[in-house]
Amino acid sequence: MIIEPRMRGFICLTAHPDGCAQSVKNQINYVKSKGDIDGPKKVLVIGASTGFGLASRITSAFGSNAATIGVFFEKEPSEGKTATPGWYNTAAFEQEAQKAGLYAKSINGDAFSNEIKQQTIDLIKADLGQVDMIIYSLASPVRMHPLTGILHRSTLKPIGSTFTNKTVDFHTGNVTQVSIEPANQEDIDNTVVVMGGEDWSMWMEALSNAGVLAKGVTTIAYSYIGPEVTEAVYRKGTIGRAKDHLEATAFEITDSLKSLDGKAYVSVNKALVTQASSAIPVIPLYISLLYKIMKAEGVHEGCIEQIQRLFSERLYTGSTVPTDDKGRIRIDDWEMREDIQAQIKTLWEIATTENLTEIGDLAGYKQDFLNLFGFGFQGVDYMAEANEMTLIPSIQ
């Protein structure tokens, strides 16, 4: 069928298989253009189908020749209905991996569950024996706790007092004031359960107990800090509490990996347009200003540029991994540059509906958002019939 974008609020209901394939190919080409990385060889990516997780899988495979197993939660296609983008991304990734002679298999299901952890362990045992790198890149609004069966929902709220600031509806370009009521303790606790480090440590414990972790294993999860203007709703809000927990969990996991000489890292990444970040108020306005400035300074990056740099200039340089005073890898260094943040502050004050197309990169935001769903890519014929039933080779 001919597939067009169908927007509903912060999501797009359709995805384009050929556009997603183009996106994956572009990312592969970028990684190849940067040369070989002396990195991991057998990699498990949890949250492997979109955003930073997909970029991590591509960088592992096409930068470091790694065999990859990807875990994610995506909707398969049905007659007349497209799959979610991560499904088509993975279909394309596996095809490209096959062509390149690289092992790649995928598991579609709830990564928070015991069943999917067991299925992953069985697959590692059967095909790879062990893994030497585990990338934890889940972003989810809900988590069914495997021990209690309780469904926890995360929230994006400030803590302590109502937060009022500017935001933009990136579809219309309307800049308005948004007020968000503060979280209660339950909101905070639930958000930590969903987006904190508990599931990451459960994964590592299960993998360790199953004996499928290689000596010297590395695991990494992704965090965010960001600027003052988003602090109340992000780093000092409910999601920030979850990130505090995630970052603390890295130290616990490192301790638990002692006998294997293993290490757990958190990398603080740059703010980017993904399905997860588009749903957070205030962030889209910040991102549209940030993109404009970083592009003008020649330091703009997408997920793939971020992760390629994380691997080649932080994790696998052959010497000590540089971290900040809290033990975190910083790949948000260009976003957080003083001159860039100073410009943001000035522009934030004056941003309105009327001037945002001028002072911000609203067009770039929209383009990236369309790209998430496989739309707006050069070299794709969107007027042609597309095969919405495209399957992932390893999942039938």
Task: Catalog residues that contact ligand NAI under the rule CB under 6 A.
Answer: 47-53, 71-74, 86, 110-112, 137-140, 222-224, 269, 271-272, 274-277
Tokens standing for residue 50: 């979109």
Helices (H) and strands (E) in the chain, counts: 14, 13
- Residue 111 annotated as lining a ligand binding site: yes
- Residue 74 annotated as lining a ligand binding site: yes
Cβ-proximal residue to ligand NAI, closest one: 51
Taking the least distance from each CB to ligand NAI, the nearer of 310 and 347 is 310
Shortest separation between residue 126's beta carbon and ligand NAI, angstroms: 20
Shortest separation between residue 179's beta carbon and Na ion, angstroms: 30
Distances (CA, A) of 46 to 56, 58, 73, 284: 10, 13, 10, 26
Taking the least distance from each CB to Na ion, the nearer of 39 and 51 is 51
Tokens standing for residue 360: 């911000």
Q: Candidates 17, 19, 53, 196: give the one binding Na ion (CB under 5 A).
A: 53
- Residue 50 annotated as lining a ligand binding site: yes
Shortest separation between residue 61's beta carbon and Na ion, angstroms: 15
| Residue 277 site contact among Na ion, ligand NAI, none (CB < 5 to 8 Å, cut-off depends on kind) | ligand NAI
Instruction: In whole angstroms, give the CA distance from residue 121 to residue 130.
Output: 9
| DSSP state, residue 148 | T
Half-sphere exposure of 34 (CA within 13 A, CB side): 23
Tokens standing for residue 146: 């495997």
Q: Candidates 39, 40, 47, 85: give the one binding Na ion (CB under 5 A).
A: 47
Taking the least distance from each CB to Na ion, the nearer of 97 and 276 is 276
Taking the least distance from each CB to ligand NAI, the nearer of 180 and 225 is 225
- Residue 375 annotated as lining a ligand binding site: no
Instruction: In whole angstroms, give the CA distance from residue 131 to residue 307.
Output: 19
Shortest separation between residue 33's beta carbon and ligand NAI, angstroms: 22
Shortest separation between residue 228's beta carbon and Na ion, angstroms: 26
Q: Is 158 exposed, middle or buried (0-12, 13-18, 19+ CB in 10 A)?
A: buried
Among candidate residues 392, 375, 347, 2, the one with its CA nearest the CA of residue 175: 347
Instruction: In whole angstroms, give the CA distance from residue 301 to residue 283.
Output: 17
Residues sharing a CB contact under 8 Å with residue 68, sequence separation 6 or more, in sequence order: 43, 44, 45, 48, 57, 60, 61, 97, 102, 103, 104, 105
| Residue 88 site contact among Na ion, ligand NAI, none (CB < 5 to 8 Å, cut-off depends on kind) | none
Instruction: In whole angstroms, give the CA distance from residue 122 to residue 125.
Output: 5
Residues numbered 125-144 forming contacts with Na ion, rule: CB under 5 A: 137
- Residue 117 annotated as lining a ligand binding site: no
| Residue 39 site contact among Na ion, ligand NAI, none (CB < 5 to 8 Å, cut-off depends on kind) | none
Half-sphere exposure of 253 (CA within 13 A, CB side): 31
| Residue 138 site contact among Na ion, ligand NAI, none (CB < 5 to 8 Å, cut-off depends on kind) | ligand NAI
Among candidate residues 242, 138, 239, 156, the one with its CA nearest the CA of residue 197: 242
Return the bridge partners of 7, or none: 12
| Residue 64 site contact among Na ion, ligand NAI, none (CB < 5 to 8 Å, cut-off depends on kind) | none
| Residue 219 site contact among Na ion, ligand NAI, none (CB < 5 to 8 Å, cut-off depends on kind) | none
Shortest separation between residue 385's beta carbon and ligand NAI, angstroms: 27
Taking the least distance from each CB to ligand NAI, the nearer of 72 and 375 is 72
- Residue 73 annotated as lining a ligand binding site: yes
Query: Cα-flanking dihedrals φ and ψ of residue 293, to 5°?
Result: -70, -45
Q: Which residues are catalytic?
A: 234
Strand order in the sheet with 263-268: 104-108, 67-72, 42-46, 131-136, 213-223, 263-268, 329-330
Q: Candidates 30, 52, 87, 88: give the one binding Na ion (CB under 5 A).
A: 52
Shortest separation between residue 327's beta carbon and ligand NAI, angstroms: 16
Known binding residues are 47-52, 73-74, 110-111, 138-139, 224, 243, 272-274
Known binding residues for substrate are 224
Contact residues toward Na ion (CB under 5 A) are 47, 51-53, 137
Known binding residues for NAD(+) are 47-52, 73-74, 110-111, 138-139, 243, 272-274
